[in-house]
Amino acid sequence: MASLLVVDDERNIRVRLAGFFESCGHSVKTADNGEQALDLLSRGARIDVVLTDYKLAQLNGLELLERIKRHSPETPVILMTAYGTIENAVAAMKAGAYDYLAKPFSLEQIQHVVERALEIQSLRAENRVLRDTLEERPLLDSQSTAMRRLLDTARQAARSEATMLLSGESGTGKNVLARQIHQWSARNEKPFVIVNCTTLSEHLLESELFGHVRGAFTGAIKDKPGRLEAADGGTVFLDEIGDLSPALQTKFLRFVQEQSFERVGGMQTIRVNTRIIAASNRDLAAEVAAHHFRDDLFYRLNVITLRVPPLRERREDILPLAQRMLQAEGFRNHRPGLQLSPEAAATLSGYRWPGNVRELRNAIERAVVLASGDTILPEHLPDNLFRELGEIGAPSGPRNIEEMERDLIVRVLAESPTLEDAAQSLGINASTLWRKRKRYKID
């Protein structure tokens, strides 16, 4: 059941539409003007779709649309009008309207439009769940003491305007943490802009950061604002800032100090208000000592430093991460309900994951694609996971798998408040876990 809001100054239309959609199983709220509609939204009323007349007193439908989009960008707004013109339709769609209906229309027509809007809303919600499962939630739901301490510090620092530097190996989730810091900050309704300092040449990266004016170089056929301008009022995240060239380090230092710059080839000084979060998988202090990175820029960036630990330092997160990723990849690849076998779980838990969360995600995706049944087995996992186990001297053969499974069960039981919680973490039911405890003589 969806919740709809019908806004129209004609009572008959409000009553007719409300009655029809309620008969379809939806909940319907009504308002006879734009201000009343905004008041409902501001008080936190759940609204999935808004249907509004174009011609309203005081606040017309187009103005209401623009206000709704500022308040709730993803809420579909359908405009209804008896004064349909191409100009009005174009203006409505540019302002973000989901659709534009000319009166008179049939109930079947408007039902079709609303149902289509609700379907898109549902797909967006599924995508958010998938994204959260793959990235944000596994990081934020960490069971590691070190990671929880890091997140507490990040949440506190997010409320400030301090520049932040995130360090850690590739694949640990520095970009996810940076986005979450932005969400925790007072700037969360403004843009979060990412600049990857490794993907572009020095010349192109300078233009990407600061923008350029027409004629600044070959191919610059018009003025182009840079990422720093796009992040005005919000946050700019510079990933792998250690890869900035010496010349760009100098120019960026001025921006950090003054929040001002000139576009490439331009003379006009541009000022912005942008929060800076930088990240590097290098030891920037060592880079400074080796004269590869400016010390003054380093100290400007190093106001709050957070080291994101590698996955091997938070092993208690490996299986919960794997379970969430299995759920997400199963959903994405049309393989719901997949489970990890104890042997596969033991293999995942025993590996050191030099590629960190990114490597774990790739391994789970591969297993989902290759699994023939409902259970992920060791043979569905990448070969390199077993090569490492051999290199560190673990015995081969079935006995090794059994020892790994026993060690895994012992550790998960020690970390879980109940047998049911431990079984859930292991991806098996409680009765199976009880039998395995008996088999392995685990108290």
Q: What single string gives the DSSP state of each residue in 280-329? A: ESS-HHHHHHTTSS-HHHHHHHTTEEEEPPPGGG-GGGHHHHHHHHHHHH
pLDDT, residue 396, reads 40
CA dist., res. 321 & res. 143, Å (int) = 10
CB 76 within 8 A of CB 68: no
CA dist., res. 184 & res. 155, Å (int) = 6
CB 80 within 8 A of CB 127: no
CB 274 within 8 A of CB 227: no
DSSP annotation of 162 reads -
CA 19 to chain CA centroid, nearest Å = 39
pLDDT, residue 4, reads 93
166-215 pLDDT tens trace: 999 988 989 989 999 999 999 998 999 999 888 777 888 999 899 999 99
Domain annotation for the chain: domains and CATH numbers: 3-125 (3.40.50.2300), 141-309 (3.40.50.300), 313-439 (1.10.8.60)
What tokens does 71 get? Answer: 């308040």
CA dist., res. 163 & res. 184, Å (int) = 15
Cut 0.75: pTM above it: no
Q: What share of the chain is helix, strand, coil (3-state, %, to 5)?
A: 55, 15, 35
CB 304 within 8 A of CB 161: no
138-151 pLDDT tens trace: 566 788 888 999 99
pLDDT, residue 255, reads 95
Before 104, cis peptide (omega within 30)?
yes
pLDDT, residue 393, reads 42
**Average of per-residue pLDDT across 298-305:** 94
